[in-house]
Structure 1
Amino acid sequence: MNTTLPHPDSVALDAALARQAILTKPTGSLGRLEDIACRFAAWQGRTVPAPLSPAIAVFAADHGVCEEGVSAYPSVVTGEMVKNFAAGGAAINVLAKGTGARLEVVDVGVAVDLSQLPIVHAKVRAGSRNLAREAALTRAEVEAALEVGAAAARRAIADGANLLVAGDMGIGNTTPSAALICRLTAYSPDVIVGRGTGVDDATLQLKQQVVGLALNRVAGRQLDGIDTLAELGGLEIAAIAGFYLEGARQRVPSLVDGFIACAAALAGVAIAPGLRDWLLASHRSQENGHGLALTALQLEPLVDLGLRLGEGSGAAACLPLLRLALELHAGMATFAEAGVSDKPA
């Protein structure tokens, strides 16, 4: 796998910063909206970025670790929720429609047969293995899932997307995500493992123990990013990492959603460190450890709305904010154009 990624365009960044300095406002008065616009300028290689054209891909898979009783919901809900996506009834369907985002649903590893649904069928295997007892996936399965994500990115970009959003659906997936974050940041399970879909105190303690078992199983072993995903990850998590990596290869940034997306981003950075330059964090979720994972990625979230749904919902909710940041950068008059006096040099 080619792990060399392009860099954002520093010349375009400087030109965008110069434009911000002459718009009819006090310098820096639009705060992070200015930074967002300038980052898109660097990503697109344009002083004034093209209008936002987002694409959302929701990747779905099941997890063998559910055998340990780590989720408040049974694994069958994964397939049932994919059916809900296909019917247009989930939160991400509403958010995609409301923000004008392209939406695709990808079965990368759901345990049940969903072949009758109008979704993308790219099942690598019917769910991962129990990571508490053995490797969740083989290296070849991770590579296949990475390619599923990369193919989804290529489809979105070919369709005109200039921002990628990955969503997840997989009952139990906060457990492998926590294990990945712990392994990739060196934080302990007691600060990273959270309640996921809303488990009680006893199940929370069990989740922490299960993550500890998985980490102990690989302790002392040298693992690259792909091997780490194989030991501790899941198929939708690997697909999201592949989605982000392919976007960066094609100079298209990704807006990172919540806890699961953050775990995938960390895994992607472990595979290709340059990925970090192509990521923007959308929100800070309620899940334990999400803020710590964002810090490890050197990302500052745009908002904190108390969300913990997944599906790409937090990122989708931020799309209007990004669209406005780009419109402000493109549409505001300069001091000279408006005939407004600038402050003395």
Structure 2
Amino acid sequence: MNLLENISKNIYSLDEKYINKAKERLDKLIKPVGSLGKIEDICMQLAGIYGSEKFDTSKKAIIAFAGDHGVYEEGVAPDPQNITYLQFPNFAKGLCGVGTLSKFVGADVVAVDVGINCDHKLDGVLDYKIRKGTSNMAKGPAMSREEAIKCLEIGIEVAEDCIEKGYKVIGIGEMGICNTTPSSAIISVIGDCDPLEVTGIGAGLKKERVAHKASVIRKSIELNNPNPNDAIDILSKVGGFEIGAMAGVVLGCSANRIPVVLDGFISYAAALLAYKINPKCREYMIASHLSAEPGTQKSLEIINLSPVLNMDMRLGEGSGAALAFNIIEASNYTYQNMATYDEVDLGK
């Protein structure tokens, strides 16, 4: 049995006993029942994930993966492809969006190269390169089935390494010029909808080019004919190495009973793949924010997730997940420290 099979078979539902215990405490806090909304939902979810009435969420990390894409040659992105390797070291250095926000919230960033189109090792970046970018999905499969499994297993391996180091909350992020294109393709296949419905401007594509981008995705799906019920087939036909690795983190965290905080649009495509492999992993997901990309709503509806934040963000990188860490910490702090009616005399 390979690592992917072993992990996917060892994902179990949350512990209902501790969800109920958390609800009992939340209902006793000096407030109207249910009045803290998603703060209460997060606390009950964490109790069920950890299987404990009390838990420590202070040690946090964003695992970010980077890869390039052969479909770039179809003119689906406005920026030079070398921005991927120029920008990605800044994840580790704390200079980009997710790096800066992670510093602010006290989280670490683990940067992993799974397929950047360069020959040299990048400063501060873990080298798990499969190859220098996927193949052009508009001309054939983006990768082989073996490569699809490999990127999923890299995500599992890196997640488990972080868990062994004591991280209790893990977010996912990414970098890869034009990776909204394979993300839209994944969502289109799983959501059974036309690509135009779930395709947006990405990192700044002119609106008049969105139809072209959607047509490239449509052509890629028609050519490769991915099986909508087989996540590995979808990933291999129209996916990306970094998207598969993020899906692997979702699976790895779920099997090890660690909450995984999704970022935005691209991470939702990864979450859909993980969900297709084992639907129970949805119980371990926390959706950070409502990305401005049009395919976001479709993917969230399929997984049945409600984002914590709505910030009109579309940066990616893991930036939304980093912001959500503070909400998770605030939820836990409130749950642990707010008084109950039994502890306070309100003159009743």
TM-score, scaled to structure 2 = 0.95
Match of 2:258 in 1: 252
Match of 2:112 in 1: 106
**Inter-partner Cα distance in structure 1 for 2:113 and 2:55:** 33
**Inter-partner Cα distance in structure 1 for 2:201 and 2:215:** 13
Q: What one-letter code is carried by the residue in structure 1 that aligns with 2:233? A: D
Contact 1:108 1:122 in 2 (8 A): yes
**Inter-partner Cα distance in structure 2 for 1:339 and 1:142:** 59
Report whether the alignment pairs 1:166 with 2:172.
yes
Report whether the alignment pairs 1:67 with 2:73.
yes
Report whether the alignment pairs 1:301 with 2:307.
yes
Contact 2:114 2:129 in 1 (8 A): yes
Contact 1:24 1:340 in 2 (8 A): no
- Aligned-residue CA RMSD (Å): 1.4
Matches within 5 A, 1:139-178: 139-178=145-184
Match of 1:30 in 2: 36
Q: What one-letter code is carried by the residue in structure 2 that aligns with 1:69? A: G
Deviation of 1:338 (Å): 1.4
Report whether the alignment pairs 1:261 with 2:267.
yes
Deviation of 1:255 (Å): 0.8
Aligned equivalent of 1:273, options 269, 275, 279: 279
Aligned equivalent of 1:236, options 238, 242, 249: 242
Match of 1:81 in 2: 87
**Inter-partner Cα distance in structure 1 for 2:205 and 2:214:** 12
**Inter-partner Cα distance in structure 2 for 1:331 and 1:202:** 52
What are the Cα deviations for residues 210-241 of structure 1, in whole angstroms up to 9, with x where unaligned?
Answer: 01001112348575111110001000000000
Deviation of 1:50 (Å): 2.3
Deviation of 1:11 (Å): 0.2
Q: What one-letter code is carried by the residue in structure 1 that aligns with 2:187? A: I
Contact 2:94 2:103 in 1 (8 A): no
Q: What one-letter code is carried by the residue in structure 2 that aligns with 1:63? A: H
**Inter-partner Cα distance in structure 2 for 1:69 and 1:51:** 43
**Inter-partner Cα distance in structure 1 for 2:66 and 2:226:** 31
**Inter-partner Cα distance in structure 2 for 1:118 and 1:221:** 37
Q: What one-letter code is carried by the residue in structure 2 that aligns with 1:73? A: D
Match of 1:226 in 2: 232
What secondary structure, in the 3-state scheme, does the structure 1 residue paired with 2:290 have?
A: coil
**Inter-partner Cα distance in structure 2 for 1:68 and 1:314:** 29
Contact 2:228 2:234 in 1 (8 A): no
Contact 1:163 1:255 in 2 (8 A): yes
What secondary structure, in the 3-state scheme, does the structure 1 residue paired with 2:343 have?
A: helix
Contact 2:92 2:109 in 1 (8 A): no
**Inter-partner Cα distance in structure 2 for 1:321 and 1:221:** 37
What secondary structure, in the 3-state scheme, does the structure 2 residue paired with 1:336 have?
A: coil
Unaligned runs of 5+ in 1: none
Q: What one-letter code is carried by the residue in structure 1 that aligns with 2:184? A: A
Contact 1:51 1:327 in 2 (8 A): no
Q: What one-letter code is carried by the residue in structure 1 that aligns with 2:79? A: Y
Contact 2:90 2:99 in 1 (8 A): no
Unaligned runs of 5+ in 2: none
Percent identity between matched residues is 35
What are the Cα deviations for residues 58-95 of structure 1, in whole angstroms up to 9, with x where unaligned?
Answer: 10000000010000111111001113324332111111
Between 1:325-334 and 1:43-52, the stretch displaced more is 43-52
Contact 1:9 1:45 in 2 (8 A): yes
Between 1:270-279 and 1:167-176, the stretch displaced more is 270-279
What are the Cα deviations for residues 287-322 of structure 1, in whole angstroms up to 9, with x where unaligned?
Answer: 111111111110001111010000000111111111
Contact 1:193 1:208 in 2 (8 A): yes
What secondary structure, in the 3-state scheme, does the structure 2 residue paired with 1:137 have?
A: coil
Match of 1:14 in 2: 20
Aligned equivalent of 2:298, options 289, 292, 304: 292
What secondary structure, in the 3-state scheme, does the structure 2 residue paired with 1:338 have?
A: coil
Q: What one-letter code is carried by the residue in structure 2 that aligns with 1:246? A: G
Contact 1:52 1:326 in 2 (8 A): no
Match of 1:126 in 2: 132
What secondary structure, in the 3-state scheme, does the structure 2 residue paired with 1:323 have?
A: helix
TM-score, scaled to structure 1 = 0.96
Contact 2:156 2:249 in 1 (8 A): yes
Q: What one-letter code is carried by the residue in structure 2 that aligns with 1:6? A: Y
Deviation of 1:142 (Å): 1.1
